[in-house]
């Protein structure tokens, strides 16, 4: 079973629309870390946000906001007033404790967001 599920494979919106990217995770650990990364068409991976399991506060950064709900094991990402430059593949990731003290990341399959002008 996938540990990180991004059920939306592709989302297409028109500029200025709001869009929410869903992320559902599965873990038995009480301490874990959640992340979102952006991969624009140029291919590099860009870190967006990190949340630890003890911090359920929502966060807003400009047009971006994140909603973390432990009760539903979800960490959703909303872009307000989308822009063409937001077109990218977005990955949600979960880090849990592994062997040797490292936290081992698992990535979702990604959601491709296409913003049309």
Partner 1 sequence: NAGVTQTPKFQVLKTGQSMTLQCAQDMNHNSMYWYRQDPGMGLRLIYYSASEGTTDKGEVPNGYNVSRLNKREFSLRLESAAPSQTSVYFCASPKREGKGEQFFGPGTRLTVL
List the beta bridge partners of residue 60: 65
* 76 or 111: CB nearest partner 1: 111
As measured in angstroms, the least distance from the Cβ of 100 to partner 1 is: 4
Q: Does 64 bind partner 1 (CB under 8 A)?
A: no
* 34 or 115: CB nearest partner 1: 34
Q: Does 71 bind partner 1 (CB under 8 A)?
A: no
Where residue 84 falls (left for φ over 0; alpha for ψ -120 to 50; beta otherwise) is alpha
Give how many residues touch partner 1 by CB under 8 A: 26
What single string gives the DSSP state of each residue in 9-50? SEEEEETT--EEE--EE--S-SS-EEEEEEE-TT---EEEEE
Contact residues: partner 1, CB under 8 A: 6, 9, 33, 35, 37, 43-45, 47, 50, 52, 91, 95, 98-110
């Amino acid at each position: 079973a996938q540990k990180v599920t991004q059920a939306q494979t592709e989302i297409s919106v028109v500029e200025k629309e709001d869009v929410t990217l869903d992320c559902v995770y599965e873990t038995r650990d009480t301490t874990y870390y959640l992340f979102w990364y952006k991969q624009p068409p140029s291919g590099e991976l860009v870190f967006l946000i990190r949340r630890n399991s003890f911090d359920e506060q929502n966060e807003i950064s400009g047009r971006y906001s994140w909603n973390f709900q432990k009760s539903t094991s979800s960490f959703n990402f909303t872009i307000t007033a989308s822009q063409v430059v937001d077109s990218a593949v977005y990955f949600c990731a979960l880090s849990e404790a592994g062997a040797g003290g490292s936290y081992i990341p698992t990535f979702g399959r990604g959601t491709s967001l296409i913003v049309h002008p």
